[in-house]
Structure 1
Amino acid sequence: MRGDVAVLGTGMHPWGKWGRGFVAYGTAAARAALADAGLDWRAVGSVVGAATVRGGYPGYVAGATFARALGWQGARVTSVYAACASGAQAIATARAQILAGLADVVLVVGADAAPKGFFRPAGGDRPDDPDWLRFRLLGATNPAYFGLYARRRMAVHGDTLEDFAQVKVKNAASGALNPLARYRKRVTAEEVAASAVVADPLRLLDICATSDGGAAVVLSSMEFARRHGAADPVRIRAVSTVTPRYPRTQLDLPDIATDSAVTVADPGAACAFRASIARAAYEEAALGPEDLSLAEVYDLSTALELQWYEDLGLCGEGEAAKLLRSGATAPGGRIPVNVSGGLASFGEAVPAQAIAQVCELTRQLRGDAGARQVEGARVGITANQGLFGHGSSVIAVA
């Protein structure tokens, strides 16, 4: 079933390290989204929670946890987990419920209270989990994984450390304008180069932090939106949650049988998978890269943002650094990317980040993004990749 759903409201809890539980961040974001939508909590027919594995049992049943925190009122609840793609999978679930006629109004919420330092596998030993294996057997923390991708881009496409630094400079400048961002300070390429090497070739300022934060959206049927007085709301036109295609499915493990310095399993499989995520979204929306006004992408590292340029079809293979250097992906360029500041400015609050991307698209498409506003924004896309073939892309239109 395909069709538009309306985005009636968005809300976020500022990113940072606040020392509170994920429920506090999520309920704050939910209340802000309801206020933005002009709706009472009792109007919500369904709550979809993006789950967190770091919140214990309440995190696993996030939908019910948030419904309880807001006050039991009979809404149906659903909880969704897909690692970094959890928020978009939650939006996909909410959209399906609306299009199926199961609810007129759905609240989608994601929040996290992240640990300090690198993420580690949660939930005990999982020898059938590629994430657990790369941590335990290879010692490949997330930054090490990001470094392998960066080294591959340097080897295959000729990207440079200076190119990576310019991604951070661009995103930090946008983050400085975003009151919800954790890091609100411009940086120079020289400051990026002077920061400590974490996972060669990436420096500290090339890699996103872990953060606390929350995000929420209120979605509705188009009929409800019109009845509610929203004659021309921002609409979600497509949500892609496709999986890889056999036989190119090895996305998560470094290839210890080959030169791991420049090879990550079948790196072409990972690139093909990310491209297929976007392609499915474009096909569903009957739109293409040429129609985009902006993109919010999953910039776990500066090098990974460049890879998304190619995977979203913003440029050809190997041309991402050239696109960046041209200024096309900067504010005022042909296709601004991460005008929110991206994860470079926010850090990772895993269940919330894909929802936060949709919050940014909504503000931009409404024309109320303030100093970050992309002039004439009409179509936006998000992109995320989670573990084990969980990918996501959302297209929203004005």
Structure 2
Amino acid sequence: MHPWGKWGRPFVEYGVTAAREALADAGLEWSDVDSVVGADTVRGGYPGYVAGSTFARALGWQGARVTSVYAACASGAQAVATARAQILSGMAETVLVVGADAAPKGFFRPAGGDRADDPDWQRFRILGATNPAYFALYARRRMALYGDTAEDFAHVKVKNAAAGTLNPYARYRKEVSPGDVAASPVVADPLRLLDICATSDGGAALVLSSLGFARRHGAARPVRVRAVSTVTPRYPNTLLDLPYLATDSAAAVPEPERGFRASIADAAYEEAGLGPGDMSLAEVYDLSTALELQWYEDLGFAAEGEGAALLRSGGTKLGGRLPVNTSGGLASFGEAVPAQAIAQVCELTWQLRGVAGERQVPGARAGISANQGLFGHGSSVIAVR
């Protein structure tokens, strides 16, 4: 990885740094790589839209197959899925996956300015709902349905900040108290500034290979990808005509028993042949503190409405029965959109290798990452040792 922060340099620099670090970790040269998959950043101009080629050029043209993918916050998982498919199909034995971003200050503006067909534009201009506004709606929903409190939300930040102090790649490496959260400015009631993640510069990279290649190159017990879930929502079109969410044919889709985020996890568990009880840790998308509590339930770690109780029990902190966001999460990193789903898998890998230092989960055997991208992009990876 390249450390997260506000460095003011081109995204390519962060991605190349991470790529070279990943290659060194794998004991490979760039010339050994068969394919490179870049996670796109639409704020990086044309080079960001063709990130795979951009990183290949920066590393030095060597003839590798190249792919670029965009799925908003799920771009990194889509890149991993693409690389994995190339390996399983026999198209490549080694694939370099890279994502990096140089995020603008403040809230993201829809790429290319105002566009009526952009769901971000619709949300901002029609509903007046910037990202913190809809994070706050989730928080209010949890308060109304389950009795969650602002203090519960604050303790998510406290937990993740404590883990972030132990991560040299994190942008924020300072412990936070509940009082610090309560004293920070209200952004969208009930969420305060320290309940919401920042926007950051950063980069992350992985080398994926076939199992045979890994073993031939000295990895007797490599970390293995057991599942990648990139599912889309099920959204019955029975009451409303919403052309950007459902087509006419969707009227036949039955009401789903579980929501979209839960379906992302369900698909990953099914493919891996594992369940929530098999996980040693999880990296989830804490865009806001309340959203982390929702992930506990969607991943099956707690029953519906019991996420805050699991947090209060200490079960999701370092040393708990199922630590969540041992990296420090977005609370400690901020968003570097194309890199973050890749960064989650970096953390799972270090934990499963047993090299995570002071934030190490003892005996970690399996871990799951989870987030979602704009416009119905699922994102979850299960890795095992």
Shorter-chain TM-score: which interval? over 0.9
Is the CA contact 2:231–2:378 (under 8 Å) kept in the aligned structure 1?
yes
Give the direction of change, closer, same or farther, for the CA distance of 1:248–1:377 in structure 2 (3 Å limit).
farther
1:79-118 mapped onto 2 (5 Å cutoff) = 79-118=68-107
Moved segments of 4+, more than 4 Å: 268-271
Matched, 1:385 2:358: no
* 1:19-58 map, 5 Å: 19-58=8-47
1:276-355 alignment, distance < 5 Å: 276-355=263-342
Cα deviation for residue 124 of structure 1 reads 3.0
Q: How many residues align?
A: 371
Name the CA distance, whole Å, in 2 between partners of 1:98 and 1:151.
44
AA at the equivalent of 1:199: A
Note if 1:211 corresponds to 2:200. Answer: yes
2:139 aligned with 1:131: no
* Cα offset, 1:294, TM superposition: 0.1
1:233-259 deviation line (CA, Å, top 9, x unaligned): 000000000011131799xx9xxxxxx
1:312 aligned partner, one-letter code? L
Kindly indicate whether the alpha-carbon contact (under 8 Å) linking 1:165 and 1:302 is maintained by their aligned counterparts in 2: yes
Deviations 1:151-184 (A, max 9, x none): 1111111100000000000000000010100000
8 Å CA contact 1:248, 1:269 repeated in 2: no
Is contact 1:172-1:344 (8 Å) kept?
A: yes
Residues 70-97 of structure 1, C-alpha deviation per residue, up to 9 Å, x if partnerless? Answer: 0000001000000000000000000000
Contact 1:380 1:395 in 2 (8 A): yes
What's the CA shift for 1:103?
Answer: 0.4
Q: 1:359 to 1:249 in 2, by over 3 A?
A: farther
Q: 2:252 — aligned with what?
A: none
Counterpart in the other structure of 2:151? 162
TM-score, L = length of structure 2: 0.94
Change over 3 Å in CA distance of 1:205–1:248 after alignment to 2: farther
> Share of identical aligned residues, percent?
82
Q: Which whole-Å deviations, capped at 9, do the CAs of 1:277-326 have from their partners, x for residues lacking one?
A: 00000000000000000000000000000000000000100000000000
Specify whether residues 312 and 96 from structure 1 end up closer, same or farther in structure 2 by C-alpha distance, changes over 3 A only.
same
TM-score, reference length from structure 1:
0.91
Aligned residue among 214, 231, 234 for 2:220: 231
Match of 1:264 in 2: none
Contact 1:165–1:193 (8 Å) recurs in 2: yes
Distance 2:61 2:89 in 1: 24
Superposition pairs of residues 1-20 of structure 1, within 5 angstroms: 12-20=1-9
Q: Distance in 2 between matches of 1:76 and 1:189?
A: 49
What is the alpha-carbon distance in structure 2 between the residues aligned to residue 270 and residue 13 of structure 1?
A: 40
Cα distance in structure 1, aligned partners of 2:187 and 2:50: 35
SS of the equivalent of 2:204 reads strand
Q: CA RMSD in A?
A: 1.5
- Give the one of 353, 360, 366 matched to 2:353: 366
Give 1:274's match in structure 2, choosing from 261, 265, 276.
261
CA offsets, 1:52-110, max 9 Å, x none? 00001100000000000000000010000000000000000000000000000000000
Work out whether 1:144 is the aligned partner of 2:158.
no
When residues 269 and 304 of structure 1 are mapped into structure 2, their CA distance, relative to the original with a 3 A threshold, is farther
Equivalent residue, structure 2, for 1:175: 164
Q: Is the 8 A contact 1:120 1:135 kept in 2?
A: no
Gaps of 5+ in 1: 1-11, 254-267
1:177–1:269 Cα change, 3 Å: farther
In 2, the alpha carbon distance for the partners of 1:159 and 1:120 equals 31
Q: In structure 1, how many angstroms separate the alpha carbons of the residues matched to 2:345 and 2:72?
A: 17
Distance (whole Å) between structure 1 residues aligned to residue 112 and residue 378 of structure 2: 22
The answer to whether 1:198 aligns with 2:192 is no
Deviation at 1:269, TM superposition (A): 7.5
2:382 corresponds to 1:395? yes
**Greater Cα offset, 30-39 or 241-250:** 241-250
Is the 8 Å Cα contact of residues 110 and 118 (structure 2) preserved in structure 1? no
Check conservation: 1:249, 1:269, Cα contact below 8 A: no
Displacement of 1:140: 1.3
How many angstroms does 1:126 deviate by? Answer: 2.5
Unaligned runs of 5+ in 2: 243-254
For the Cα contact (< 8 Å) 1:193–1:203, is it kept in 2?
yes
In 1, the alpha carbon distance for the partners of 2:233 and 2:118 equals 16
Shift in Å at residue 125 of structure 1?
Answer: 3.1
Cα distance change, pair 337–248 in 1 and its aligned pair in 2 (3 A): farther
Corresponding residue of 2:245? none
Q: Which amino acid aligns with 1:225?
A: A
